[in-house]
Amino acid sequence: MKVLFVVQGEGRGHLTQALTLEKMLTDNGHSVVGILVGKSCARELPEFFIDRAQAPIQSFLSPNFLPSKTNKHIGLTRSIIYNIIKSPNYMSSIHFLKSHIDKSGADLVINFYEVLTGITYYLYQPQVPEVCIGHQYMFLHPEYQLPEEHKFSQKLMIAFTKVTCLGAKKKLALSFRKYEDDNIQNLSIVPPLLRSEATSIPRHHGDYVLGYILNAGFSENVIEWHKRNPKLNLHFFWDRKDAAETTIIDETLTFHRIDDKKFLHYLANSKAYATTGGFESVCEAMYMGKPVLMVPAHVEQECNAFEAMNQGAGIVSNNFNIEQLVEFCHEYGEDVEFRMWENEAEMIIISRLEAVVEKYNDKINAYPVKTSYAAG
């Protein structure tokens, strides 16, 4: 089975998922023939992705969200205006996608929440079947619980999610736990795509709290809290481009420039974890048995945080009040069921992908692909 990836490249989560799935496919006798990454002009592909991806990578211009003036949250109005202005350029990207899908020789396109891919399938109906994968497809499940706040923003998010999966034969929703599949929507619930480095690394209970802030504006919030609570050891990773590899504020607060291997080491040896609530790193913390404080920066992260809180993974706050997290550590218990669910990820996800290609090939009277697992 030959597979073409199209990845939304604005966040690190989808890129990490793509690397993990590429390895799973390769380990099961399949191949990824190319990776197309949608991103803004200002966004550079991170080195970890370029270094680890085995398939050739090409990028194209795709819609993105702009931060607010404080660089803490997404500026929704600014983002909408910006992307409307840029919309003529996006037609070129749609033609780029159509051409590459047609010429790829792929048996399957896997779309990691990239919106222009959905539009391409809506406009041109490429012959290669499309599967969409991401945690965001959980928002379409009838049993999924959304927070009570920001209902209008949630409707926009759900509408955007539906556009990303236009024309998809199957949607794979990455989930903290098992749900029944929704066959009416061709929606299958599967475990998260966690990198093997996160699930195999030795874990210890350290004396520090680890943090991850993708929006550097939150660093002021962290520093202010630290001034009032200087005794607790804190290590925070941030995405500040002009920062040194390590910025030592004092003996008990250090900021680190984002580095995947270094981050995993610190997470595995931490007491607890504080983050803006991205799905991927919360799952990694859950797998390692680390309690989590989530400070959402936008509506999608609010939904992730609400779900993780209901799972008992952590607590939600509107600021980095680490004291709340320290108190929560006393009542936290590791989620063994989540770890068992995640350990089934490769078998479940590969079987779902193989089943889509088999069904499509049967439909056009072609030879079915050889499968590694019994298709579910």
Q: What is the pLDDT of residues 231-255, one digit of tens each?
A: 999 999 987 778 899 999 999 999 9
Mean pLDDT across 350-369:
82
- In this structure, what DSSP letter does residue 104 have? S
The dihedrals phi and psi of 193, each to the nearest 5 degrees, come to -95, 85
pTM over 0.85: yes
| Alpha-carbon gap, residue 253 to 224, rounded angstroms | 11
265-to-14, 48, 200 alpha-carbon distances in Å: 21, 15, 11
pLDDT computed for residue 88 by the predictor: 75
| Alpha-carbon gap, residue 276 to 218, rounded angstroms | 9
155-to-152, 177, 276 alpha-carbon distances in Å: 5, 23, 21
- In this structure, what DSSP letter does residue 316 have? E
pLDDT computed for residue 166 by the predictor: 97
Is the pLDDT reported for residue 368 higher than 80? no
Write out pLDDT tens, residues 174-188: 999 999 999 999 999
pLDDT computed for residue 138 by the predictor: 96
How many other CB atoms are there within 10 angstroms of residue 223's CB atom? 16
Inter-residue contact 5 to 269 (CB < 8 Å): no
Inter-residue contact 25 to 106 (CB < 8 Å): no
Angle of CA points 132, 264, 249, to nearest 5°: 120
| Alpha-carbon gap, residue 280 to 148, rounded angstroms | 23
| Alpha-carbon gap, residue 119 to 91, rounded angstroms | 10
| Alpha-carbon gap, residue 266 to 335, rounded angstroms | 20
Write out pLDDT tens, residues 79-132: 555 555 566 778 999 999 999 999 999 999 999 999 999 999 999 999 999 999
Higher pLDDT, 10 or 365: 10
Write out pLDDT tens, residues 12-26: 889 999 999 999 999
Q: Give 38's pLDDT tier (boundaries 50, 70, 90).
A: very high
Is the pLDDT reported for residue 154 higher than 70? yes
User: Checking DSSP bridges between strand 2-8 and strand 208-213, what pairing results, if any?
Assistant: unpaired
Q: Which secondary-structure segment (H or E) carries 256?
A: strand 253-257
The dihedrals phi and psi of 247, each to the nearest 5 degrees, come to -120, 110
Task: List, in sequence order, the alpha helices (H) in the chain.
Answer: 12-27, 47-52, 76-103, 115-124, 151-164, 196-200, 218-228, 260-268, 279-288, 299-310, 322-329, 336-342, 345-363
Domains and CATH numbers, the chain: 2-193+344-363 (3.40.50.2000), 197-338 (3.40.50.2000)
| Alpha-carbon gap, residue 200 to 350, rounded angstroms | 20
User: Which of 17, 206, 253 is CA-nearest to residue 113?
Assistant: 17
| Alpha-carbon gap, residue 115 to 7, rounded angstroms | 9
Q: What is the residue-averaged pLDDT of the chain?
A: 89
Q: Which secondary-structure segment (H or E) carries 112?
A: strand 108-112
38-to-45, 55, 216, 235, 366 alpha-carbon distances in Å: 10, 16, 23, 31, 32
Can you tell me whether residue 238 is helix, strand or coil? strand
Write out pLDDT tens, residues 155-176: 988 999 999 999 999 999 999 9
User: Which of 99, 30, 18, 13 is CA-nearest to residue 57?
Assistant: 18
Higher pLDDT, 301 or 374: 301
Supply 133's token pair. 């994968």
